[in-house]
Amino acid sequence: MAALELRRLSKSFGDHQVVDAIDLQVTDGEFLVLVGASGCGKSTILRLIAGLEKADAGDVRIGGHSVLDRDPGDRDVAMVFQNYALYPHMTVRRNIAFPLRMARMPREQVRARSEEAAAMLGIGELLERKPSQLSGGQQQRVALARALVRRPQVFLFDEPLSNVDARLRAEMRAELARLHQRLGATMIYVTHDQVEAMTLGDRIAVLHQGRVQQVGTPLEVYNCPANSFVAAFLGSPPMNLLPAAATPWADPLGANAVIGFRPQQARLGGSLQGRVELVEELGSESLVHVRCGDHAVVLSLTPGHGLGPGEPVGVAVEAPHLHHFDRDSGVRLP
């Protein structure tokens, strides 16, 4: 395994700057999640690391060495694609063994390592099947086995769970976390799903318009978002953001701040006045949509609060749970 470093990495397609001078360090054995909305450049970063795209500027260093001039196969990375990219004409055994065969490894070694990887992922009985004879989850495991059979320095995952159903996704998430613990491998994982980001990553890098907005542990990023984009992006439901002037709370910069609070950290009975618009019962929580003048806020309450549409409510948030951002730049205020 090895550390990975991106230095001022840039990539544009035509006039569109997809990755904009990104600096990022991933330590040896770390699980870093790149998270962001569609089109933010996260998959392009992964493809730049893998060598599937050529960088316009900057450097990609693996284990302290620049790999920009190396072909994808010589970078010692393995990649799991969103649609698994299993070779449909090959059996599971041949799919898993493919990278080793291409490396001209001795046949016996290829067989042993393929079977070891298959056993690790619980697909030992499927070795003679073709990908078309496998379920989505099994295909996913084959793709993982093909990646880990190489024992690469860095694993790259490009939204590998986005094509599986919710139950399987939860299962595979846990499987991936276990795999990371077991292998201690350097992994970079791209997703737009914040639950995956929060649960899998040692650290999260939030991306927006080709730039890294914040890098930190999941709790750091969640509890202390660097700007209003990160604040609104992470969390379900997202953080409520209101102009300070529309709230009864103190504004550290006069009228130029935006105040944010998490729906889970608000309670009833405060001085921010509004009227209930909608109540969504989710079983474990109840989402209450409140209209406060021109702005809408969402509160996450314990079910059984008895509120209904049209009722007037007051919203309270304790001062430590209020976040302040600059209205123009969106940057977090102290």
Chain residues binding another protein by CB under 8 A are 50-52, 71-74, 77-79, 81-83, 85, 87-89, 98-99, 102-103, 146, 150
Q: Least Å distance between CB 79 and another protein? A: 5
Strand partners, 208: 211
Q: Least Å distance between CB 136 and another protein? A: 15
Q: Least Å distance between CB 146 and another protein? A: 7
List helix spans (H) across 33-91. 42-50
Q: Considering beta carbons, is residue 71 or 328 the nearer one to another protein?
A: 71
Q: Reduced to 3 DSSP states, what percent helix, strand and coil does the chain have, rounded to the nearest 5?
A: 30, 35, 35
Joined tokens for residue 174: 């846990």
Q: Say if CB 26 and CB 217 are below 8 A apart.
A: no
Q: Considering beta carbons, is residue 98 or 229 the nearer one to another protein?
A: 98
Q: What φ, ψ does residue 185 adopt, rounded to 5°?
A: -90, 155
Q: Least Å distance between CB 154 and another protein? A: 11
d(CA 157, CA 188) in angstroms, rounded, equals: 6
Q: Considering beta carbons, is residue 79 or 288 the nearer one to another protein?
A: 79
Three-state DSSP state, 31: strand
Q: Say if CB 220 and CB 31 are below 8 A apart.
A: no
Q: Considering beta carbons, is residue 131 or 260 the nearer one to another protein?
A: 131
d(CA 27, CA 38) in angstroms, rounded, equals: 26
Joined tokens for residue 321: 């749970």
Q: Least Å distance between CB 29 and another protein? A: 21
Q: Considering beta carbons, is residue 145 or 276 the nearer one to another protein?
A: 145
Q: Least Å distance between CB 267 and another protein? A: 48
CA–CA distance from 145 to each of 13, 155, 316 (Å)? 33, 12, 50
d(CA 210, CA 219) in angstroms, rounded, equals: 23
Q: Considering beta carbons, is residue 96 or 207 the nearer one to another protein?
A: 96
Q: Considering beta carbons, is residue 141 or 150 the nearer one to another protein?
A: 150
Q: What φ, ψ does residue 263 adopt, rounded to 5°?
A: -55, -30
What sign for the dihedral angle of Cα 90, 96, 97, 100?
positive
How many other C-beta atoms are found inside a 10 Å radius of the C-beta of residue 161?
Answer: 25
Q: Least Å distance between CB 83 and another protein? A: 6
Q: Least Å distance between CB 157 and another protein? A: 12
d(CA 93, CA 242) in angstroms, rounded, equals: 56
Joined tokens for residue 57: 């500027």
Q: Least Å distance between CB 278 and another protein? A: 41
Q: Say if CB 161 and CB 3 are below 8 A apart.
A: no
Q: Considering beta carbons, is residue 51 or 260 the nearer one to another protein?
A: 51
Radius of gyration, CA atoms only, the chain: 23
Q: Considering beta carbons, is residue 47 or 323 the nearer one to another protein?
A: 47
